[in-house]
Chains A and B, each alone.
Chain A
Amino acid sequence: MTRNGQMMRTLEKIFALLSVAGVMTLTFAMYAHAEGSGSNHLDEARTTIERSSLAKEAQVALLAKADRAVTAGIPAEDVAIIITRGLKQGVSGPTLEGFLETATVVKEQHLPSRLVLDRIEQGLAKGVPGERISGVTQNLSRHLATAKPMVEKIESSGVKPAPSGRPIAPIETVARALERSIPPDAILRMGEKVQARKGSMALFDRAIDTMTVFVGNGMQTEQASRMVHSAIERGYSEKDLGTMERYLAEGLRKNRSMDEIVSGMETRMERGEMRDMHESGGGMGGPGAGGMGSSWSGMGGPRH
């Protein structure tokens, strides 16, 4: 065999080895990318379950639910938080399984799961009883399923999409509105008003959110619906809606009655005084405005 031939054969072998090594590295990298960050969280959850006082069968069942949730696309970190926080709070295994089941079903129905996960995590952090959290989240998941076709209907009616880069979540916003017993009819009418004003889904999202905030703070549904519909008809922007929310918060801080607040808001809207009174920043009161303590919330400049 000549020297050249030997060299070529060696080169071929090196080439083949490099190809195999490359494929293996690629496979490992992709596997690590898919599993990487999630595996640590799942390991943490697994350890917590194994160290818990749950019976062996309950541990196995909870682990199976956790695996199914992650497979469905629930972030492993959220699964770990729910399990760890729940066991620490003394929530039973079946109740924790129920939380994961609710989130998984929402995900499998291609509905946004963030709101459900946030509500579970929030409830557990605040020490709300498991059964209460379970009821609230199951209700929320039903509202998400109702909200999706409503949002799709509004989107297809000609309302412009939100400007790119604007983080809106209209399905979750509508689900929260339904949770506060705002009638679907009022929500759909809001879509029509936004469309008539040639507004975008961002304005619709904000308008429904404002309506929900009003109702959540004790305003009657009809009053909240009337105020926000009126604002949209007057061409209010998202910032203007924020001003209305701040007016409400300030009124509550000053212990005004809701009727008084609504009346004052309507008067100011008629006078054109309700629009974007504050560009940004921390509410209508400065330090010392609150009765029980004082605080100030403000926004700094954008950080890139």
Chain B
Amino acid sequence: MEYVKVTFPTRRLAYIDGEENGYTNDVLRVDAGTHEFSLGDRANYRPAKRTVTVMDTSVLEPLEVRFFSKGEP
């Protein structure tokens, strides 16, 4: 099992490989491999998606996948 944390200034749905998969800023479980992360259809965040290869994480050190508000520097 691998662990990721999809970060964003607010709590909202996180999508993994196009499907709802929990919430931002929570530690989420995922299997190893290349996954596509996004925050859904609303266009108020950037980047639109991140494709990341998840491997060698641990529950103590989840991989951080960062998203920002469009207005955020």
Partners in one complex: no
Residues of A within 8 A of B (CB): none
